[in-house]
Amino acid sequence: MLRSCERKYYFQYLANAYLNSFDPWLRQIALLKKMKNIPMWQGECVHDAIADFLTQTAEGRDASFDLLALTLQQRMERDWKFSEKRQFREEPASIGRFGAALFEHEYDEVPPETQISELVNEAREMFKKFHEWAQTHSSFLTEFKSAKRRWIEPPPWGDGAPGFMVGDVQAITKVDLALHLPDGRFHIYDWKTGKRPFTEIGGASNSTQVSIYMLWPHFVMNFPLEKVKSSLVYLGNAQSQEVSFHLDEELALETKEVICNSVEQAQRWENYVKLGRLKVEKIDFASSVNECRKCNFKSVCRATLKPQAIP
**What is the closest distance, in whole angstroms, from the C-beta atom of residue 128 to ligand SF4 in the complex?**
36
Determine how many CB atoms are found less than 10 A away from the CB of residue 149: 10
148 versus 294: smaller Cβ distance to ligand SF4: 294
Sheet holding 149-152, edge to edge: 149-152, 177-180, 186-192, 228-234, 241-245
Is residue 297 part of the contact set for ligand SF4 (CB under 6 A)?
yes
29 versus 233: smaller Cβ distance to ligand SF4: 29
Contact (Cβ atoms closer than 8 angstroms) between residue 100 and residue 41: yes
Is residue 286 part of the contact set for ligand SF4 (CB under 6 A)?
yes
213 versus 297: smaller Cβ distance to ligand SF4: 297
What angle is formed at CA 19 by the lines to CA 16 and CA 23, rounded to 5 degrees?
A: 65
Is residue 31 part of the contact set for ligand SF4 (CB under 6 A)?
no
Residue 150, classed as helix, strand or coil, is strand
Quote the CA–CA distance of 111 and 104 in Å, as a whole number. 8
Is residue 54 part of the contact set for ligand SF4 (CB under 6 A)?
no
Determine how many CB atoms are found less than 10 A away from the CB of residue 5: 22
**What is the closest distance, in whole angstroms, from the C-beta atom of residue 285 to ligand SF4 in the complex?**
4
Report the candidate in 39, 128, 120 with the shortest Cα–Cα distance to residue 72.
120
12 versus 241: smaller Cβ distance to ligand SF4: 12
Residue 110, classed as helix, strand or coil, is coil
| Interface region with ligand SF4, contact rule CB under 6 A, candidates 5-13, 39-47, 57-65, 68-76 | 5-13
Binding mask 165-194 for ligand SF4 (x = CB under 6 A): ------------------------------
By CB under 6 A, name the binding residues for ligand SF4: 5, 7-8, 11, 285-286, 291-292, 295, 297-298, 301
